Structure formats: structure tokens, C-alpha cells
Amino acid sequence: MVTCDSLKELIAKEGIEFVDFKVVDLIGRWRHITVPASRFTPHLLENGIAFDGSNFGYASVEGSDMVLLPDLDTATIDYYSEEKILSIMSDIHLAGGKGPFRGDPRGVIKRAEGYLVSEGIAEAAMMSPEFEFYVFSQAEYNSGGVESYYTLTSLNKHTEHSFYHIAPPEDQLFALRNEICRRLEKRGIPVKYHHHEVGPLGQLEIELGFDRPLKMADTTLIIKNIVRNVSAEAGLSATFMPKPIFGENGNGMHVHQFLASNGKSLFEDKGGLSALGLCYVGGILSHGQSLCGLTNPSTNSYCRLVSGYEAPVSLAFGEGNRSAAIRIPGYATPEERRIELRTVDATCNPYFAYAAMLMAGIDGIKRNLNAKKLGFGPYTKDLYHLSSEEAKKIAQAPANLGEALCALEEDHDYLTEGGVFEEDRIAHWIKVKRQEESQLRKRPHPYEFSLYYDI
């Protein structure tokens, strides 16, 4: 068991001078506050660190006093410019000893995991995201009253052929990925593999093994932070934006997942997907449009979610079918028989997104929403090239953020089961995201000048 005393011993042994407390804001960015190691005391751990929740998007200014309480089990040594830092993830509580803040993303995902177990469905949920991102030699952007632009400079020149698993010398970012993975392994995050992705202008991917949703959500923020920091140290710029380049493949964050008991996947049935697994799939696809309000919560998400470019828009499933929202990997072992949800992207708050997927799957199991019986598949054809008549028979992902938020507003009862998500917090999320979307709608887009300036 990790205690204050055991961590103070580690601090002394490693010569650590600062302790860094990490916390996620509403939309999924990491924030942090740092204290000298001498101030790492039982009093600090018991009373926490006060902060302004309005700056994190959680509350309005008249009721924004909140407190960070460190989760000592997440303590790990981090490195910044070769300096050792003790890094600890934190939970959010209300000030004045009023208990946990119900909108804390880590609290939401803990309740989702607890709900799964309390319903007697499984002992654990297991998740494994694929992290896709672009690395550019330079990125400049600005949005002002009389100018709006972005300029991305790649190490590679545009080419028509795929860079999927390309080898050096064309793979100019091999050494960078190695260094990123070294840092991850040093942080105790085992890497499955890394490679160049399809996009020739610097699209990369890192994959991990499986872990429980809370641990994987924490890890998601760690990976994004390390990728961006290592790239910056190399004089480069990394982004997880879903669609930074028009006409090229976008960045997804495909999430492999299964439920387990006794160390084995409950989705396994004689080399195929079990009835429980099919109901889990049915739950996710039945709530597929509303899920996008949490798994794809940016306006840029819907620049990626267009037919083609390996971004599925058909809410269907198929074995080995990458054009469907859910792929059933054909190479999975029985112990890790799983599904892969391919619509998700990394602009999500991972705690909310992973919890929402799990809750949709649980709803499918409880209501016996068998994906086969509901007509969600399995599909063996390429769903990117359906006729208009065929497309009408398959539910589609939302076309934009506004549609996704409307779907979430209309369909979220499955999220509030067991008190996992709070009704008022869902309403707050929708309000914040609608404000975000409205800011884009109010601004002229650079392409509009190409279309309309000379009319």
C-alpha cells in the first residue's frame, strides 16, 4: 500500500525536489500544480490543494472553490529536462469538506466500473486505445478579426501511396517514436508496438496492452503529454486533432474493449463473439449517435467522420471490417476476445468517453440488445461505398457536433443508471460544447473566402 511515508522515502532516495499534482479539466486537458517536496506532508494529503474550478470549466465563478486530493496509488517518477519529479493524479472534491465533486471525471469512471460489478455482469472491463497523432516540423495558426489561418510544415513531401508501416529512410520519425516509448516504459507504461500510420505527412501510432478504464484514462493523458513534450524537445509539433489535414487520413483513437471474469474475456464463444458480447455491441450501436457527444466532442471530430479515410460513419459491426463503427478483430486470442470501437477520437475527455462506452454496453446487456437480432450486422461488405438505398438502412454517425449534442440530450438515461453520470453534469457538458460550437459558426472560415469573396 502506498502511503505518505513510503513516498517520502522515495523522495529522499531519488533526490526529488518537487511533487506535481495532475488533474483533468472538463474538456480533457491536463492541468497541474507543483509543490516543493518539503511541503509533501500528511496535512497536505488530508486537506488537499485548493483551486478555482471555474477555470477548469466545472463551475461558475460564484461557486467554484474546489480541492485536489492526491490519489497516492498513481504516484510515479516523471522526468522533465532530466529532472526527477514525483507525479500524482488527483481527484476533485468540494471545498469545506463537502465530499467528492460529482462531476469529477475520475469519479465518473470509478462509478461506472463499480456499477458493472454491482450488477453482477463481470469482474472488470478492459480497454486498450490506439493512439494516432501527427508530428509536424512546424505548426502555426491564428484566429483574429482580420486574419484566420493555419500552416503546417511536414518533414515529408506529399505522396499518393500509403505510409502504413513504412521503413526508414522514408520513416523519418522512427527515432522520435523510440524516445517516446522509452519515456512511457520508464513511467511503467508497457508499449505493445509503434509504427508509422497511413498519412505520409507524419502520422504515427502507438499501441498499448489492456488495462481497466480508470487506469487507461489516466494513461491516455500521460501518453498525450509525453508525445507532445518529446516532440517539442526535438523542435517538432505533435497534435492529436482528428483532422489536421484536408484530404488525408485523420487521427482516430480506436478503443478495443471486453468484459472479463476470472481473467478471461466474457466475449469469447468458440472463436466468435458470445451472446453477452453481441448485446454489449448492440448497446453501443443503439446509443451510437448520443455516444458521439462524449467520444467525438469537437467540431473537428466531424471533419474526420466522413466516409473513407478509415473513419467509419456506419453504426454497424463486422468481423475484420474496418469500414464499420465496430470491428471484431479476427486475430484476438480467446482470453482477449474483444470488440474495437473505431469512431472515437482523442479530443474526448477519456474518463467520460470510456465510462460512456461501458455504460452503453451494460445497457445493451441488461436490455438484451443483441446486435445481430437488431440488424446491426455482421456486415462483410465495404460500408464506405454503399448505394444511397443501402445507406438508408444503416444508422449513421452524426454529421456534426450539433447533431451529436442533440442526440446526447435526447438519449442519456443509460448514462445516469446507478448514479454514474449526473443529469445536471450532462446538461452542463452540452451547454459548454454548444458554446464551443457557436464560436466556430460565428467566424468566417478561410475556405469561404475561396468560395464567396469575389461574388
Question: Which cell goes with 440?
Answer: 466556430
Active-site residue identified among 78, 336, 340, 363 = 340
Q: Let me know if 423 is a catalytic residue.
A: no
Who's near 314: CB < 8 A, 6+ residues apart?
323, 324, 325, 379, 383, 386, 391, 394, 395, 396, 397
User: Using CA atoms, how far apart are residues 379 and 40, in angstroms rounded to an integer?
Assistant: 56
Choose, from 338, 342, 412, 425, the residue flagged as catalytic.
342
Whether 83 is a known active-site residue: answer no
Which three cell numbers mark 110? 470509478
Q: Is 254 an active-site residue?
A: yes
Q: Which of 113, 197, 268, 336 is catalytic?
A: 197
Q: How far apart are CA 406 and CA 257, in angstroms?
A: 26
Per the CB < 8 A criterion, the answer to whether 120 and 41 are in contact is no
Residue 332 CA, chain-centre distance (Å), reads: 22
441 is catalytic: no
Q: Cα–chain-centroid distance for residue 396?
A: 21
> Rounded distance, CA 22 to CA 221, Å?
10
CA–CA distance, 60 with 210 (Å, rounded to integer): 37
The answer to whether 217 and 109 are in contact (CB under 8 A) is yes
Catalytic annotation present for 130: yes
State yes or no: is 342 an active-site residue: yes
Strand partners, 39: none
Q: Catalytic pick from 254, 256, 327, 412?
A: 254
Of the chain, the end-to-end C-alpha distance in Å amounts to: 70
Q: How far is 229 from 238, CA to CA, in rounded Å? A: 9
- The DSSP code for 367 is T
Catalytic one of 14, 52, 140, 170: 52
Among positive and negative, which fits the CA dihedral 413, 53, 95, 355? Answer: positive
Give residue 218's Cα distance to chain centre: 10
Tell me which of 113, 130, 345, 437 is the catalytic residue.
130
The enclosing H or E element of 322 equals none
Active site residue 132: yes
Q: Write down the catalytic residue from 78, 91, 132, 437.
A: 132
Q: Catalytic residue among 322, 417, 428, 434, which?
A: 322
Given 113, 205, 211, 310, the catalytic residue? 205
Cα(250)–Cα(198) distance, integer angstroms = 9
Catalytic positions: 52, 130, 132, 197, 205, 254, 322, 340, 342
